[in-house]
Structure 1
């Protein structure tokens, strides 16, 4: 019996150096084992950092959805059975991916990417696809027009990798205003006729009504915001997608998105998405062109009265809350509760 104890003690002593070596060298192998995405380079530790970022964004979104009850009676079942709600969701069965596009948040380039990923084009360079092509109806398969059964649609929405990209709501609105109601372009001319004339007739007073342009040119940012506030209150689901809230376009409280990308970290998030879904290694998101809109936000917001700023925040409150954006900036876009 005593000999048996001696043998066991000797075995432990012999195994101890190997155990110490394993513990000390464990960090060299843990990178590969713990890596969230397949990669040939174990030094790409930033992938694990972005997993943490995504987890944080998902948790913040879930927390926000849980504490906001004013979601206008929607449910996952209602989205699946009434597919008009899924118009902005495009699907790529090859990579088992669903992308909810949001206008004014790099959606043209993302639609180009989806065309390449889903085999809707022979081009391999997204910038080789003309900018209007991805927006043509029928170019990309939408869940709203899918003929699949409700059970199959339900399954794909539950199991496919789903992602969307958002940006600061005010910056997005300023971008939409400038792109659709200010600049001179074919697209803007159409928006001015469809919305500009309507806005001018609604909010111009007195003699100014007589000088309304038939082209719809000349809408101020304050008039645009007044229109958005009124439209959001009366018929939120009929708002044009270029300024409709994220909650109306992508339904983030009912569709569980795996990846929440942000315009502010577009390059990193885009690469993360492509690696995550198994895109071809040579396919990368187009180089980022710095937006001029950020520098214009303050000057546009300064044209609004404090009351109008507050109403604007209320109209897009969920977009701010769910995606972690602040409305009160250094210049106090909103009147503080203490009246200062």
Structure 2
């Protein structure tokens, strides 16, 4: 009996150092990381994709860096943007929101969603919201280009059909559903009227190959229908000279017939990206493009060398007021009706312009 007790004591003494080391390691771990993250209150709008780096709890004797605060601020901005979107979606007319089943059945509605399987990301591109550079980045991320600098990719290439994978081209319904459910989904938006003015100037005012095509496709039609009186006979056969009021008259008439008939350069966000049906993880804005782009790239695990190109100052915001001033009150109100949900969904307004809504 005494031998058995002595044996147990010896065994306990031999295991004691290992137990002490284990407890020390456990204590160190809880000191470094006091608690786990609480579940994101917007998690029902999130996928199970990789989360941002955990910078919320610094190591012992470390002072939180400025970057840590930026991450926290960005998370809070995203939380507010998604919460505002969710609230606004509750007030969108039912007929304007396409069900998930309809999106999957009629794939044309998913045309603007681009897929990067390497990083499990889906990007809904919106023309006139830095989409050329984002498409360049998607080419690099998905392995469609060996470039390390997005600007070395010629601007027309990302827009060519077949260069990038579209969600509309995913074959099996089960795979499409899987990607929609689990991939990190993001889109970027801009003040609706600022985007519209940019599209008008880029496609119907300046002289470029792209603008020449748009003037033929839309300019001639607009001039024939909305150029009044004797000026109608002097309308350009090339589609040059469309005024902003004529363009808005065309848009508001088209809106009453079918949103789907609108060109993607001025189609509402609600129609291009379906933000009340597809639950986006990240909402970026043109006004905060540089920081949003950096955070998006780090979120999806992009290579450390890959960054969004330097953001150039846009002159379009300074032109918005003068373009709106050329519209009658009636035409301005009709224009707002076309984009009213875009305003509400993404927290934009018409203050400081001709009419307050």
Q: With structure 1 as the length reference, what TM-score do the two structures score? A: 0.87
Once the two structures are TM-superposed, the CA of residue 207 in structure 1 deviates from its matched residue by 1.1
Please say if residues 96 and 160 of structure 1, whose CA atoms lie closer than 8 Å, have aligned partners that are also in contact.
Answer: yes
Once the two structures are TM-superposed, the CA of residue 70 in structure 1 deviates from its matched residue by 3.8
Provide the C-alpha distance between the structure 2 equivalents of 1:67 and 1:54, rounded to a whole number of angstroms.
21
| Corresponding residue number in structure 2 for 1:146 | 170
What SS is found at the alignment partner of 1:164? strand
| Corresponding residue number in structure 2 for 1:6 | none
Once the two structures are TM-superposed, the CA of residue 330 in structure 1 deviates from its matched residue by 1.7
Once the two structures are TM-superposed, the CA of residue 138 in structure 1 deviates from its matched residue by 0.4
Once the two structures are TM-superposed, the CA of residue 145 in structure 1 deviates from its matched residue by 2.1
| From 208, 211, 214, the counterpart of 2:231 | 208
Aligned length: 309
| Corresponding residue number in structure 2 for 1:331 | 353
Provide the C-alpha distance between the structure 1 equivalents of 2:208 and 2:227, rounded to a whole number of angstroms.
24
Please say if residues 301 and 333 of structure 1, whose CA atoms lie closer than 8 Å, have aligned partners that are also in contact.
Answer: no
Please say if residues 182 and 217 of structure 1, whose CA atoms lie closer than 8 Å, have aligned partners that are also in contact.
Answer: yes
Q: Does 1:240 align with 2:263?
A: yes
Provide the C-alpha distance between the structure 2 equivalents of 1:33 and 1:70, rounded to a whole number of angstroms.
36
- Report 1:1-340 matches (<5 A): 37-38=52-53, 43=65, 44=67, 45-72=69-96, 74-147=98-171, 149-327=172-350, 329-334=351-356
What SS is found at the alignment partner of 1:252? coil
Once the two structures are TM-superposed, the CA of residue 73 in structure 1 deviates from its matched residue by 5.5
Once the two structures are TM-superposed, the CA of residue 72 in structure 1 deviates from its matched residue by 3.0
What SS is found at the alignment partner of 2:165? coil
Please say if residues 89 and 101 of structure 1, whose CA atoms lie closer than 8 Å, have aligned partners that are also in contact.
Answer: yes
Please say if residues 92 and 118 of structure 1, whose CA atoms lie closer than 8 Å, have aligned partners that are also in contact.
Answer: yes
Please say if residues 324 and 354 of structure 2, whose CA atoms lie closer than 8 Å, have aligned partners that are also in contact.
Answer: no
What SS is found at the alignment partner of 1:174? helix
What SS is found at the alignment partner of 1:261? strand
Deviations 1:55-90 (A, max 9, x none): 111111011111223443620111011100000000
Q: With structure 2 as the length reference, what TM-score do the two structures score? A: 0.83
Provide the C-alpha distance between the structure 1 equivalents of 2:340 and 2:118, rounded to a whole number of angstroms.
36
What SS is found at the alignment partner of 2:284? strand
Once the two structures are TM-superposed, the CA of residue 205 in structure 1 deviates from its matched residue by 1.7
Q: Over the residues paired in the alignment, what is the CA RMSD in angstroms?
A: 2.1
Structure 1 unaligned spans of 5+: 1-21
